[in-house]
Amino acid sequence: MNNNLKKINIYAIYLGAIILILPLIAFFINAFSFRWFYPQVIPKELSLQAWVRLKLIPKPGQRTFEGFIELWASNPTVIKALLNSLSIGFLVTIVSIIIALPAARVLGLLNFRFKKLIIFIMVSPTILPPIAFVLGLNINFISWGFSGNYFGVCLVHLVPIMPYVVLTMTGIFANYNPDFEHQARTLGANKTRTFLLITLPAIAPGMVVAALFAFLVSWSQYLLTFLIGAGKVMTLPLLVFSTASSGNPALTAAISIIFIFPAILILFFTSKFVSGESGATSGFGKI
Amino acid sequence: MGGERLKIILSLTPPLLIIFTLFFGGIFYGFLQSLGYQPAIGKYEINFSAYYNVMFSERYAKLFWSGLGLNLWVSFASTFLAAVFALFGALAIRKTFFAKTICNFIYSLNLPMPHLVVAVGIIFVFSQSGLLARLASQIGLIGSPGDFPVLVKDKYGLGIILAYIWKEAAFFFIILMSVLQSLGENFEELAQSLGANRWQRFRYVILPLVMPNLFSASIIVFAFSFGAYEVPALLGVIYPQMLPVMAFEFFLNPDLNARSEGMALSIIIAIIVMILVVFYFWLTQAKIRKD
């Protein structure tokens, strides 16, 4: 009896896994078959046509190294969006880490008045929906000249990212012992050397998780980019949304695969660090 | 001491500046606009007519209240169901079995997946010509796509709920796994040796232990699904429409007067979420005091 129950248990897990992976399977079938008509479950023929139409793979006959380079150099929309998403993500991640580092150190190591209040203010953007601030901010950005450009989009991405980076890094500093720094200083190391040789190695693992996470939040931002970018800054989520609304499944699937690739990669590398106690995990719900 | 104070202030200023000018500034300016203060189109008076219009005018009242109902239904249903699925998944997956690592990975796979992609995935799987409909027709359950139930872009928000379950179950799963891991199986074994059966162990041992984490995760999920735009925009219908989509559409309306109404709606969404969070803190604080 107990054995049967165990078996049912395990089959239920397998079933759950299959159901969970169904959308991913559908993405790949759609992306690599251009004419996948109902009621076929497995497409009759595989095709790269979606990728050709997105100008990511050259037409048959031109699939040489030069062919690829030439095609990508013609700056197709997907490549442009990909580069925008990547560069905005990198820039915002680096800036947020630099800004958060001193704040997290202070919050993690020192005790002072209003600390709880400051943490509460710091995390408030994680609870209230983005639509609550971005509509008002949009008007301000227009009058400040930040609307419709790259800089404005980077700036607005800092709002959802800042709380998680500060929170995750505060957690790192709460378990960090600054006495090692004093030792290094008494032994004659200057401030830069102390930071590079003592502080940085100690906080690096946590910092990498915070950085990957910050990148992912920026990477998947739709509403903020759409409103502040005013249609002039094209990123991958915007492309996925507009293609999905126009309803071509093959093109949507192909762009989506490019879009989710870094996400899966990041999960793969961070799965060790991701646990319920980490401040970063709570942010995953918001991507 | 003075030096330390200066250091604290200098360190905290940059992130606080970002949050105050961009986040609170945005909310404040949105609030001003919702009161009808729009210097851009020469309106300087302050009143609550946008709020009144959205909630009670003949033109919008039906849209608003049906939207609010849909919002509550979608957020409650998806939070609850995602938590339940994740709880059973996490409890079942603790035992060792074949391909456990792969299953674990698949169960957390949706965690870093953007909501937008999950919504597209739901269309691919659950639409009337989606993967499930094709499978159903292969085994002879349905004939034409029209025989498959409308699960995406339906007026009950089922597609939206499915997307949130897909995405947030992974979130609950990760949280529950780490709680269960840190608890170990000692409590359960103790209960078992005292004669508790399966259900009793679940109801009186596991559930109370995971409840605090489950509850705070639920608040995050509920607040998010209440105010998010992408999923209902892709998987929803025009009527009834979830409030964030409605707010955004008001805002994009070429008629600049509708802007105040859009802002009013976004402020209403924020207030509801805020009430919820305050209620949650009050509840947990009251519990701590009681304990």
Q: Is the pLDDT of residue B184 over 90?
A: no
User: Which residues 114-143 on chain B approach chain A with CB closer than 8 angstroms?
Assistant: 114-125, 129-135, 137-138
Q: Report CA Rg, chain A.
A: 23
**What pLDDT is attached to residue A243?**
94
Q: Mean pLDDT lowest for which of A146-150, A249-253, B43-47, B77-81?
A: B43-47
> Is the Cβ of A109 closer than 8 Å to some Cβ of chain B?
no
What's the rounded mean pLDDT across residues A238-250? 91
**What pLDDT is attached to residue A272?**
62
**What pLDDT is attached to residue A276?**
46
Spatial distance between the Cα atoms of A190 and A160, rounded to a whole number of angstroms: 35
Query: Which residues on B lie below 8 Å from A286 (Cβ)?
Result: 220, 224
Residue A41 φ/ψ, nearest 5 degrees: -90, -45
pLDDT tens-digit series, residues B152-162:
999 999 999 99
pLDDT band at A287 (very low <50, low <70, confident <90, very high): low
**What pLDDT is attached to residue A67?**
86
Size of interface A-B (CB pairs under 8 A): 283
Q: Mean pLDDT lowest for which of A35-44, A169-178, B120-129, B130-139?
A: A35-44
Contact B235, B261 (CB under 8 A): no
Flag if B118 and A23 touch (Cβ within 8 Å).
yes
pLDDT tens-digit series, residues B55-91:
999 889 999 999 999 999 999 999 999 999 999 888 8
Contact B225, B78 (CB under 8 A): yes
Q: Which residue in A213, A267, A275, A256 sits closest to A54, CA to CA?
A: A256
**Comparing A63 with B85, which gets the higher pLDDT?**
B85
Tokens of A135: 């509509």
Residue B75 has a CB neighbour count (10 Å cut-off) of: 27
Query: Which residues on B lie below 8 Å from A22 (Cβ)?
Result: 121, 125, 131-132
Flag if B22 and A275 touch (Cβ within 8 Å).
no
pLDDT band at A140 (very low <50, low <70, confident <90, very high): confident
> Is the Cβ of B84 closer than 8 Å to some Cβ of chain A?
no
Q: Report CA Rg, chain B.
A: 24
User: Which residues 174-213 on chain B approach chain A with CB closer than 8 angstroms?
Assistant: 174-179, 213
Tell me what the pLDDT averaged over chain B comes to.
89
Q: Is the pLDDT of residue A222 over 90?
A: yes
What's the rounded mean pLDDT across residues A115-139? 90
Spatial distance between the Cα atoms of A88 and A96, rounded to a whole number of angstroms: 12
- Distance from the first to the final alpha carbon of chain A: 43
**What pLDDT is attached to residue A50?**
86
Structure-token match 């609030």, residue found: B31
pLDDT tens-digit series, residues B194-215:
888 888 888 888 888 898 889 8
Structure-token match 């872009």, residue found: B153
Work out the burial of residue B55: count CB atoms within 10 Å of its CB; fewer than 13 is exposed, 13-18 middle, 19 or more buried.
middle
pLDDT tens-digit series, residues B258-278:
888 999 999 999 999 999 888
pLDDT tens-digit series, residues A81-97:
999 999 999 999 999 99
Q: Is the pLDDT of residue B180 over 90?
A: no
Alpha helices in chain B (DSSP H): 2-18, 25-34, 49-56, 61-92, 100-108, 115-126, 131-138, 158-183, 186-193, 198-200, 207-227, 230-235, 243-252, 257-290
Flag if A275 and B174 touch (Cβ within 8 Å).
yes
Residues B136, B142, B148, CA angle at the centre, nearest 5°? 80
Q: Is the pLDDT of residue B7 over 80?
A: yes
Structure-token match 């995050």, residue found: B220
Spatial distance between the Cα atoms of A139 and A158, rounded to a whole number of angstroms: 18
Flag if A220 and B114 touch (Cβ within 8 Å).
yes
Q: What is the ipTM of this complex?
A: 0.89
A88: left (phi over 0), alpha (psi -120 to 50) or beta: alpha
Q: Is the pLDDT of residue A246 over 70?
A: yes
The topology under which CATH files domain A77-284 is MetI-like fold (1.10.3720)
Tell me what the pLDDT averaged over chain A comes to.
87
Q: Is the pLDDT of residue A277 over 50?
A: no
